[in-house]
Chain A
Amino acid sequence: EAQVTQNPRYLITVTGKKLTVTCSQNMNHEYMSWYRQDPGLGLRQIYYSMNVEVTDKGDVPEGYKVSRKEKRNFPLILESPSPNQTSLYFCASSSPGTSVNNEQFFGPGTRLTVL
């Protein structure tokens, strides 16, 4: 089954404790991205990657890191989480090009709470 998986789905942590949210896709997509979603603010892009070893900042990259060592994986790293990073996080993937088949597929989301 074609899918994007994220782990963990739920996480409660404390300020300053490094954490990683994993993202994996099995569709051989080149493009992957991370979003956070907050009430009233919609989906905001954190980082994106257009291929292995190619990453770039989105609209809200502060406090986050990513890596893209393999095509299928795109982990999101919070080196020193703070309460303002409490949010619902989505990973997404898509293939390059400009046709209808290039819609993004989203993971199920990770709900993070930083105390």
Chain B
Amino acid sequence: GQNIDQPTEMTATEGAIVQINCTYQTSGFNGLFWYQQHAGEAPTFLSYNVLDGLEEKGRFSSFLSRSKGYSYLLLKELQMKDSASYLCAVRDGAGGSYIPTFGRGTSLIVHP
């Protein structure tokens, strides 16, 4: 199985940049996802990394280093609506299941 670690909570100021880290241990890495989840709602897909490097998508970017078992989600020009939980999920193909396992999530609070 996987061991996925991310900070429990972070705070940031509107307009700033924040980086949310995720470290993982897995035997058959097969991709890493980031999801956003507002309170009481379903998670929604943000980004996917399977090769090393940076994937940019508007204000959000995600980075992966497979050798270090490390990823981060970078949010730029923070807006109040970015206050949410951010979930790191790792897909491990070693056991034959390609369904990701989730970390506990990072609660991001954006204040004015």
Residues on A lying within 8 angstroms of B by beta carbon are 31, 33, 35, 40-45, 48, 50, 56, 59, 88, 90, 94, 96-98, 100, 102-109
Find out whether the CB atom of A98 lies under 8 angstroms from the CB atom of B102.
no
Task: Indicate which residue in B1, B98, B100, B102 contacts A96 across the interface (CB closer than 8 Å).
Answer: B98
Q: How far apart sit A50 and B102, CA to CA, in the bound complex (Å)?
A: 18
Q: A31 touching B99 by the CB < 8 A rule?
A: yes
Q: Which chain A positions have C-beta within 8 A of B89?
A: 104
Interface range, B side: 20 to 34
CA distance A34 to B101 in the complex (A): 12
26 A-B pairs with C-beta separation under 8 A: A40-B104, A41-B104, A42-B102, A42-B105, A43-B43, A43-B87, A45-B99, A48-B97, A50-B97, A50-B98, A59-B101, A90-B43, A94-B99, A96-B98, A98-B30, A98-B98, A103-B33, A103-B45, A104-B33, A104-B45, A104-B99, A104-B100, A106-B43, A106-B44, A107-B42, A108-B42
Q: Does the CB pair B101–A45 fall under 8 Å?
A: yes
Residues of A within 8 A of B48 (CB): 100, 103
Over the window 21-46 of chain B, the binary record of Cβ atoms lying under 8 Å from chain A Cβ atoms (1 yes, 0 no) is: 00000000011010000001111110
- Least Cβ–Cβ distance between A43 and chain B, in angstroms: 4
Q: Please measure, in the bound complex, the distance between the C-alpha atom of A65 and the C-alpha atom of B104, giving whole angstroms.
A: 24
Report the Cα distance A108→B91, complex, angstroms.
22
> Which residue of chain A has the shortest Cβ distance to B34 in the bound complex?
A103
Query: Once the chains are docked, how many angstroms separate the CA of A107 from the CA of B41?
Result: 9
For residue A94, which residue of chain B has the nearest CB?
B99
Contact flag A56-B97 (CB < 8 Å), given A43-B43, A98-B31, A106-B43: yes
